[in-house]
């Protein structure tokens, strides 16, 4: 049985979004506009 995992930010990254890699943050911002339900949006922390 195949399982697809959706990875999100760590607790440390949620507390301090500056810990995220800039390219991940940029991609998350772009995907927020294109597809709000895309899993990468878990990294769009405000």
Give DSSP secondary structure letters for 3-25: --------HHHHH-GGGS-HHHH
Q: Is the pLDDT of residue 27 over 80?
A: yes
Residue 29 falls within a domain, yes or no?
Answer: yes
Taking residue 41's Cβ as centre, other Cβ atoms within 10 Å add up to 17
Q: Is the pLDDT of residue 5 over 80?
A: no
Residue 1 falls within a domain, yes or no?
Answer: no
Residue 19 falls within a domain, yes or no?
Answer: yes
Tell me, yes or no, if the pTM score tops 0.85.
Answer: no
DSSP annotation of 38 = -
Over range 23-44, report the average pLDDT: 84
Residue 25 falls within a domain, yes or no?
Answer: yes
Number of structural domains found in the chain: 1
Of 1-10, 19-28, 36-45, highest mean pLDDT: 19-28
Taking residue 28's Cβ as centre, other Cβ atoms within 10 Å add up to 20
39 within 8 A of 6, measured Cβ to Cβ: yes
Residue 4 falls within a domain, yes or no?
Answer: no
Residue 23 falls within a domain, yes or no?
Answer: yes
What's residue 45's pLDDT? Answer: 66
Q: Is the pLDDT of residue 38 over 70?
A: yes
Q: The tokens 């995992």 sit on which residue?
A: 5
């Amino acid at each position: 049985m195949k399982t697809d995992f959706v990875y999100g930010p760590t607790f440390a990254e949620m507390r301090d979004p500056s810990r995220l890699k800039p390219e991940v943050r940029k991609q998350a911002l772009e995907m927020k506009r294109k597809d709000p339900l895309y899993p990468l949006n878990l990294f769009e922390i405000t």
